[in-house]
A and B are shown apart, each in its own frame.
Chain A
């Protein structure tokens, strides 16, 4: 598998405070790498280092197998699109004029402007001044700018921040479609596990500058075992019935919790309860929250 981004021992301090610490990141070609972490965990700092916007205190960065330095950096940037922090735009220029600037800087053909405008569905607002755009539109303009020049790698820092629910959905669909359509590799950061869950193929979790988890989404799911919450007409009887059948269960505030959510256990449990004449009011699968996963991975509580 071709490695698109590889960092070794990547470290950054700000005034004695270590923001990113010995980060070894690996992003493979064609993946959507979800970069997960709470606010201030070091996501933006890492992404800025990947673009050469800020210089690491220690460590190496290789993108497309080349070191991010000097002439190579420009070569890498030519093939990289990015949307970092809040969207950037020249407020007195129209959306289209903003794209023209990026297009010129990237030396991409002008016709691509129409392509990306269509892709982010902004053809109708392209002549409006960018300063008058809503946050969602600015965000989409930023994505359009990042997509100019057919980059092989896309770095998106919290691209759904500040968007309304339909905007979030739209952004997600756009991002998910990119690798399939263009073979692009995407690194997308978020502080929401659910969001990463819906977009990513691979996940890296950063906590206080440390990369505490990095693997495929499937492996993360093994960590984030879910629970089944059952509400029944008779909690006490239900619990007794499950225990009698050796199905591990516990009770909390009138809800029965099954830790094992394998298909076999769930069918078994429900069948026994129904046969015992206990009515099932709700059966709800509860995902482990990001906090829970952090707790499990780091052994300490984090505030999000």
Chain B
């Protein structure tokens, strides 16, 4: 059943140019970060670690959430338009499968974006001739970031499902991203969904931000992921369809 739903979600994305945004948008923080790195070479210790801090600073704090928010908004806009809610909800599939299939599509997109961010990091570093050993731990950070990204994806899916507007949830994602810096500074970053990305990606920090806190990070991420997922399913089950 779930496989069928996922197949449908993939079908719905046919002919869309969403991939262009997913490909294009991460290039911006990569370029910004690279220039920032080169401009601050007097204060930064040259090397991969600091290039990472500069690139992910922009990506995790400003670009990721709106980007995944855009993907989520697009997925739900397909249902909001042309009365598709009626068709979706009168199909013989349970609510949990509908939400999980959309989440699966977002997760797939997210993984591809994360790989792309990794590739951009490597390419930009090679381009400006960063030397010394490539930090293998960044792979772990990308993986942690993927989990954090899934939490934001689940939240954005919920928002875009409830809010019929296309732009509003994306604006909320942007505000959430900005708020994430504040939340992290206040020390409640691990419990604010939008902050998880910067913590997970270890952005703007050369040393591990989650030293000794990895378990909390994992528990918080998985917990919130489940919370947003269940919230979406519950909403779908309990609310009257407005097509």
Instruction: Say which residue of A48, A80, A86 sits within 8 Å of B241 (CB atoms).
Output: A48
User: Which interface class (under 10, 10 to 19, 20 to 34, 35 or more) fits B?
Assistant: 20 to 34
In the complex, B83 has a CB within 8 A of chain A = yes
A28 CA / B33 CA spacing, docked (Å) = 69
Point out the residue from A86, A89, A97 that lies within 8 Å of B14, measured CB to CB. A97
Q: Is the interface of B mostly helix, strand, loop or mixed?
A: helix
User: Is the pair A106, B83 in contact by a Cβ cutoff of 8 Å?
Assistant: no
B91 touches A53 (CB 8 A): no
Check if A106 sits within 8 Å of B243, measured CB to CB.
no
Residues from chain A with Cβ under 8 Å of B83 in the complex: 84-88
Most B CB contacts (10 A, CB to CB) among A75, A85, A93 go to A93
Residue from B5, B82, B86 in contact with A53 in the complex, judged by beta carbons closer than 8 Å: B86
Cβ of B11 < 8 Å from any Cβ of A?
yes
A93 to B8, CA, bound (A): 12
A142 nearest CB neighbor, chain B only: B87
Asked if B93 is at the interface (CB within 8 A of a chain A CB), the reply is yes
Measured between alpha carbons, how far is A80 from B87 in the docked complex, in Å?
Answer: 12
CB contact between B90 and one of A82, A91, A93, A104 (< 8 Å): that residue: A82
* 0 or 1 for each of B231-243: is its CB under 8 Å from A? (1 = yes): 0000000001101
Partner of B82 from the list A55, A78, A88 (CB cut-off 8 Å) is A88
Return chain B residues, CB-CB under 8 Å to A177.
none
B14, B78, B82, B92 — most chain A CB neighbours (10 Å):
B92
B240 neighbours in A (Cβ, 8 Å): 48, 53-55
Is B93 in contact with A74, judged by CB distance below 8 angstroms?
yes
A53 & B90 in contact (Cβ 8 Å cutoff): yes
Flag whether A168 is at the interface (Cβ < 8 A): no
- Of A48, A100, A104, which is in contact with the most chain B CB atoms at under 10 Å from its CB? A104
Contact B93 A91 (CB under 8 A): no
B86, B90, B93, B240: most-surrounded residue (chain A CB, <10 A): B90
- Which residue on chain B has the smallest CB distance to residue A74? B92
Chain B residues 87-111 with CB under 8 Å of chain A are: 87, 89-94
Task: Output the least CB separation between A150 and chain B (Å).
Answer: 13
Interfacial chain A residues near B15, Cβ < 8 Å: 92-93
Among residues 40 to 88 in chain B, which have CB atoms less than 8 Å away from a CB atom of chain A?
78, 81-87
CB < 8 Å: which of A82, A91, A93, A107 contacts B81?
A91
Flag A103-140 by CB within 8 Å of B: 1 or 0 each: 01111000000000000000000000000000000000
Residues of A within 8 A of B14 (CB): 92-93, 97
Complex: A118 Cα to B243 Cα, angstroms = 28
* Residue contact A101 to B92, C-beta cutoff 8 Å: no
A149 to chain B, nearest CB (A): 8
**Min CB gap B192→A, angstroms:** 34
B4 interface residue per 8 A CB criterion = yes
| A74→B94 contact, CB < 8 A | yes
CB distance from A127 to the nearest CB of B (A): 12
Distance in Å: Cβ of B81 to nearest Cβ of chain A: 7
CA distance A97 to B92 in the complex (A): 19
**Is the CB–CB distance between B241 and A102 below 8 Å?**
no
Q: Nearest CB to that of A77 among chain B residues?
A: B92
Residues of chain B within 8 A (CB-CB) of A91 are 81-82
Closest to B243 in A: A85
* Chain B neighbourhood of A211, CB < 8 A: none
Q: Does B16 contact A (CB under 8 A)?
A: yes
Say whether A51 faces chain B, with CB atoms less than 8 Å apart.
Answer: yes
Tell me the minimal C-beta distance from A257 to chain B in angstroms: 46
State whether the Cβ of B12 lies closer than 8 Å to any Cβ in chain A.
Answer: yes
Q: Are A93 and B86 in contact (CB under 8 A)?
A: no
Question: Among B11, B84, B86, B94, which residue has its beta carbon within 8 angstroms of that of A104?
Answer: B11
Given A85-B86, A104-B8, 13 additional A-B pairs, CB 8 A: A53-B89, A55-B240, A74-B93, A77-B92, A86-B82, A86-B83, A89-B84, A92-B16, A93-B15, A97-B11, A97-B14, A101-B8, A106-B91
For the complex of A and B, 5 pairs with smallest distance between CB atoms? A54-B240, A88-B83, A105-B91, A77-B92, A78-B92
**Partner-A contacts on B (CB < 8 A):** 4-5, 7-8, 11-12, 14-16, 78, 81-87, 89-94, 240-241, 243
Q: Can you pick out 28 interface pairs between chain A and chain B where the beta carbons lie within 8 Å of each other?
A: A48-B240, A51-B86, A51-B90, A52-B90, A53-B86, A54-B240, A54-B241, A74-B92, A77-B90, A77-B91, A84-B83, A84-B86, A85-B86, A88-B82, A88-B83, A88-B243, A89-B84, A90-B12, A90-B78, A91-B81, A91-B82, A92-B14, A93-B11, A93-B15, A97-B11, A104-B7, A105-B5, A106-B92
